[in-house]
């Protein structure tokens, strides 16, 4: 949504703050906390009903090595990510930042230092935008449940949460994203979310805020699925690498570079972002499989980046087993991630094709009869097994329509 002509002042300011985000496409999510020591998902305290006194011992046994965040930030930059979002406090209630509102924090306990400050320094040193994840739900705070039943408890808990958000927006310099999470058990009025976010914007005038304080704010956050927002609203799909957000080595089925490239094509086609998570070990190691697969993605983006970062124009399209499109103006990019061999047939493209090239490469021979495009003389093996991008220049508004029958109803002649 670039045209600011018919936007309200508020919408124009939102678009001003969102400009970098709409171009970012790819970010790194980091889930790191006491739960990382147990290695059984970030919900382990809740799922295993670990007694609070037993769980709290993790606050003193956690000894992450210094500046692990520099490794994550370097990796993120290397592989084409343009921002990072890290947990400052997850549901367990342990703060990775120096809070004056609780001693259950990384400075006062095991780590003995401000892990959020290290993360911010690392991300900025790589020129990456900085996001803070902050869980409003808090399993440790004594009023975290009672707040729903008792006004005095609600007052204390809301003041605590607002107070910590204020600390985060005050003590770490310029922030780019406030990424709230899980606002159980209160509703938007009980949380006083509008007041909290007004405070955030007063402290951080350029910040963007996600939709998880029960207000829509600046962008949507489909989780574990890629569902573009409607009406041009900004959005970002957050996805795990395996099935867990926190470090969980027993959850060993990780997405491959092929999966990540496919997700990047999907978010680009929908005009959104992919926030891909890594759950570092308690010491701070990114899982090696994530590093390996991300480096393959980075190499792919080096070659095909514009077909992802810039090709976000909307285009009507249907599924095709050999690949899918992104679009920029009169160029459509067919991301072929299942290579059929020396001939590739694409049905349903409703436009006259003026030229075809391997992306930044040689022209490709093609024939076109009605909505059957056949590209020939291709390499028998996929030039790039993650996805080989073919650039088509087309006439008119690109449309890819196949329907369920062999022909569309209005074409059945
Ligand atoms: C939440 C957290 O519980 C999870 O640990 C992780 O931090 C993720 C990014 O966010 O997960 C959710 C949040 C909302 C829903 C489901 C899982 N939901 O609305 O169904």
| Mutation choice for ligand 1 from 137, 180, 182, CB with most ligand atoms inside 8 A | 182
Q: Is the CB of 245 under 6 A from ligand 1?
A: yes
Domain stop point among 309, 342, 357: 309
Q: Ligand 1, atom 7: nearest CA belongs to which residue?
A: 245
Distance, CA of 83 to CA of 179 (rounded, Å)? 12
> Of all helices (H) and strands (E), which one includes residue 355?
strand 353-358
pLDDT in tens, 295-350: 999 999 999 999 999 999 999 999 999 999 999 999 999 999 999 999 999 999 99
Q: Is the CB of 42 under 6 A from ligand 1?
A: yes
What spacing in Å lies between the alpha carbon of 182 and ligand 1's midpoint? 6
Q: Ligand 1, atom 17: nearest CA belongs to which residue?
A: 223
What spacing in Å lies between the alpha carbon of 181 and ligand 1's midpoint? 7
Residue 1's pLDDT band, with cuts at 50, 70 and 90, is: very low
Q: Is the CB of 182 under 6 A from ligand 1?
A: yes
Q: Is residue 39 domain-shared with residue 181, that is, in the same domain?
A: yes
Q: Ligand 1, atom 12: nearest CA belongs to which residue?
A: 182
Distance, CA of 377 to CA of 364 (rounded, Å)? 7
Q: Is residue 292 domain-shared with residue 340, that is, in the same domain?
A: no
Distance, CA of 170 to CA of 177 (rounded, Å)? 14
Question: What is the domain-level CATH number for residue 336?
Answer: 2.60.40.1180
Q: Is residue 195 domain-shared with residue 73, that is, in the same domain?
A: yes
What spacing in Å lies between the alpha carbon of 135 and ligand 1's midpoint? 10
Is the pLDDT at 293 greater than 70, yes or no? yes
Domain stop point among 309, 339, 368: 309
Please, is 250 exposed, middle or buried when counting C-beta atoms within 10 Å of its C-beta (0-12, 13-18, 19+)? Answer: exposed
| Mutation choice for ligand 1 from 245, 276, 277, 279, CB with most ligand atoms inside 8 A | 245
Q: Is residue 171 domain-shared with residue 278, that is, in the same domain?
A: yes
Work out the mean pLDDT of the chain and round it to a whole number. Answer: 97
Q: What is the DSSP string of 13-74?
A: HHHHHHHHHHHH-EEEEE--SGGGGTTS-TTHHHHTT--HHHHHTHHHH--PPTTHHHHHHH
Give domain status of residue 182, yes or no: yes
Give domain status of residue 66, yes or no: yes
Question: Which range marks the domain in which residue 63 is found?
Answer: 9-309
Q: Is residue 212 domain-shared with residue 356, that is, in the same domain?
A: no
Q: Is the CB of 238 under 6 A from ligand 1?
A: yes
Number of domains in the chain: 2
> Of all helices (H) and strands (E), which one includes residue 169?
helix 151-170
| Mutation choice for ligand 1 from 138, 223, 238, 243, CB with most ligand atoms inside 8 A | 223
Question: What's the whole-model pTM score?
Answer: 0.97
Predicted local confidence at residue 370, as pLDDT? 94
Mean pLDDT of 33-43: 98
Nearest C-alpha neighbor of 101 from the set 12, 169, 161: 161
The length of the chain in residues reads 413
pLDDT in tens, 173-227: 999 999 999 999 999 999 999 999 999 999 999 999 999 999 999 999 999 999 9
Distance, CA of 362 to CA of 250 (rounded, Å)? 46
Residue 4's pLDDT band, with cuts at 50, 70 and 90, is: low
Query: In percent, how much of the chain has pLDDT > 70?
Result: 99
Q: Ligand 1, atom 20: nearest CA belongs to which residue?
A: 223
Q: Is residue 228 domain-shared with residue 329, that is, in the same domain?
A: no
Q: Is residue 195 domain-shared with residue 333, that is, in the same domain?
A: no
Which atom, in ligand 1's list, is nearest to the CA of 246? 5
Calculate the CA 405 to chain-centre distance: 36
Q: Is residue 81 domain-shared with residue 146, that is, in the same domain?
A: yes
Domain stop point among 277, 309, 341: 309
Give domain status of residue 85, yes or no: yes
Q: Is residue 182 domain-shared with residue 213, that is, in the same domain?
A: yes
Which atom, in ligand 1's list, is nearest to the CA of 238? 9
Nearest C-alpha neighbor of 339 from the set 388, 304, 407: 388
Q: Is residue 185 domain-shared with residue 264, that is, in the same domain?
A: yes
Question: What is the domain-level CATH number for residue 40?
Answer: 3.20.20.80
Cis peptide before 185 (omega within 30 of 0): yes
Strands, E assignment, 243-303:
273-278
Q: Is residue 57 domain-shared with residue 13, that is, in the same domain?
A: yes
Predicted local confidence at residue 410, as pLDDT? 83
Give domain status of residue 107, yes or no: yes
Give the pairing type, strands 177-181 and 208-209.
parallel
Residue 411's pLDDT band, with cuts at 50, 70 and 90, is: confident
What spacing in Å lies between the alpha carbon of 240 and ligand 1's midpoint? 11
Please, is 406 exposed, middle or buried when counting C-beta atoms within 10 Å of its C-beta (0-12, 13-18, 19+)? Answer: exposed
Q: Ligand 1, atom 19: nearest CA belongs to which residue?
A: 182
Q: Is residue 369 domain-shared with residue 268, that is, in the same domain?
A: no
Please give the backbone phi and psi of residue 296, each rounded to the nearest 5 degrees, phi first: -65, -40
What spacing in Å lies between the alpha carbon of 238 and ligand 1's midpoint? 10
pLDDT in tens, 271-291: 999 999 999 999 999 999 999
Give domain status of residue 403, yes or no: no
Give domain status of residue 3, yes or no: no
Return the bridge partners of 367, or none. Answer: 374
Give domain status of residue 400, yes or no: no
| Mutation choice for ligand 1 from 90, 181, 184, 237, CB with most ligand atoms inside 8 A | 181
Q: What is the DSSP string of 374-391?
A: EEES--SS-S-TT-EEEE
Is the pLDDT at 409 greater than 90, yes or no? no
Nearest C-alpha neighbor of 68 from the set 123, 110, 112: 123
Is the pLDDT at 25 greater than 50, yes or no? yes
Is the pLDDT at 6 greater than 90, yes or no? no
Give domain status of residue 369, yes or no: yes
pLDDT in tens, 135-177: 999 999 999 999 999 999 999 999 999 999 999 999 999 999 9
What spacing in Å lies between the alpha carbon of 405 and ligand 1's midpoint? 40
């Amino acid at each position: 949504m670039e045209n600011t002509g018919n936007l309200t002042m508020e919408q124009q300011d939102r678009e001003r703050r969102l400009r970098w985000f709409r171009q970012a496409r790819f970010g790194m999510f980091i889930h790191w906390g006491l739960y990382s020591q147990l290695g059984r998902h970030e919900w382990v305290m809740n799922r295993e009903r670990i007694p609070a006194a037993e769980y709290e011992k993790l606050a003193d046994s956690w000894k992450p090595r210094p500046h692990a965040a520099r490794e994550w930030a370097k990796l993120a930059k290397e592989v084409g990510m343009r921002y990072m979002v890290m947990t400052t406090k997850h549901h367990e209630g342990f703060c990775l930042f120096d809070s004056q509102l609780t001693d259950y924090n990384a400075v006062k306990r095991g780590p003995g230092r401000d892990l959020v400050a290290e993360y911010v320094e690392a991300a900025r040193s790589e020129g990456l935008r900085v996001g803070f994840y902050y869980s409003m739900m808090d399993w440790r705070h004594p009023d975290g449940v009672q707040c729903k039943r008792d006004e005095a408890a609600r007052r204390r808990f809301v003041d605590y949460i607002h107070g910590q958000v204020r600390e985060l927006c005050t003590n770490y310099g310029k922030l780019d994203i406030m990424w709230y999470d899980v606002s159980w058990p209160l509703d938007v009025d009980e949380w006083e979310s509008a007041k909290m976010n007004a405070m955030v914007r007063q402290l951080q005038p350029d910040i963007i805020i996600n939709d998880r304080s029960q207000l829509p704010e600046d962008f949507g956050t489909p989780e574990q699925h890629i569902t573009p927002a409607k009406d041009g609203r900004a959005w970002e799909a957050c996805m795990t690498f395996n099935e867990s957000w926190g470090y969980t080595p027993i959850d060993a089925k990780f997405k491959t570079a092929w999966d990540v490239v496919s997700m990047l094509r999907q978010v680009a086609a929908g005009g959104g972002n992919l926030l891909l998570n890594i759950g570092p070990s308690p010491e701070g190691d990114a899982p090696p499989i994530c590093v390996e697969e991300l480096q393959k993605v980075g190499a792919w983006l080096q070659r095909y980046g514009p077909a992802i970062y810039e090709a976000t124009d909307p285009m009507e399209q249907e599924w095709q087993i050999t690949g899918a499109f992104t679009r920029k103006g009169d160029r459509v990019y067919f991301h072929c991630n299942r290579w059929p061999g020396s001939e590739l047939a694409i049905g349903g493209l409703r436009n006259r094709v003026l030229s075809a090239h391997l992306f930044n490469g040689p022209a490709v021979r093609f024939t076109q009869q009605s909505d059957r495009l056949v590209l020939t003389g291709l390499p028998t093996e996929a030039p790039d097994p993650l996805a080989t991008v073919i650039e088509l220049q087309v006439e008119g508004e690109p449309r890819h329509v196949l329907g369920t029958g062999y022909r569309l109803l209005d074409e059945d002649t």
